[in-house]
Structures are given as structure tokens and as C-alpha cells.
Amino acid sequence: MTERLKFAGAGFVVGILSGLLGLGGGIFLVPIMVTYFNITQHIAQATSMAIVIPTALISSIIYGFHGNTDVNLALNLIVGSTLGASIGARIMKRIPPIRLKQLFAILLIVVGVRMVLA
């Protein structure tokens, strides 16, 4: 199986999970890229951000057609998250790969535990 087909397959599965669960694809894609495809943490995180726009746009349109989107809330979140993403991307460049991987793992654990307990 070619690398392109493997990447497309991973993207397909992650796309389904993202649309189904309302999660950003990075929560799935970053670990897959780092562990399965041996991509560095920095490249995996940056690549994950690049695929957010088309994935989120398509899901948002479909959710919107079904009346499941709060547009005012989304617009307010866009303002803050755009600024935050800009700052976060600059900070990420200064963090060593192993520390970045550890921070990402801690985030996944914290979110997972909170979801189980909620």
C-alpha cells in the first residue's frame, strides 16, 4: 500500500470520527502521524492544523443545515481562537519535540478523564 493511500485512509477514518464526535481531527491525527507514520511532533501538529479548515468547514455546513450550529457563539469563538492559534503556533516553535509530545499527551489524558467523569 502506498504512503499516499495510507494517509488518505487515515484522513478518511479521522474525518468520520471528527464529523461524528464533533472533535478536531488533531486529537486523532497527531498521535497517528507521530506513532504510525513516524512524523515529528512539530510537523504533525502543524499538518493537523492545516486540515482543520476544510474538515471543520464541511462539518459545520452539514451541522448548520440540521440547525445544530450557534452562529453567534461560533463567531465569538473564532475571534478568540484565531488570536490564540497565532500565539500558540509561535510558542510551539520554541518547545523541544519531546516536551511538545508530553504536553499533548497530558492534554489527551486530562480531556479523557474529564469526559469519563462528566
pLDDT per position as a tens digit, 44-75: 999 988 888 887 788 888 889 999 989 899 89
The Cα 60–Cα 82 span in angstroms is 17
The answer, yes or no, to whether residue 1 has pLDDT greater than 80, is no
Q: How far is CA 18 from CA 13, 34, 39, 76, in A?
A: 9, 18, 21, 22
The model's pLDDT over 93-117, given as tens digits with 9 standing for 90+, comes to 999 999 999 998 998 899 889 989 9
Arithmetic mean of pLDDT over the chain: 89
Q: What does the pLDDT read at residue 28?
A: 85
- Over the stretch 10-30, which tens digit does the pLDDT of each residue have? 889 888 887 787 777 778 889
* DSSP letter assigned to residue 19: H
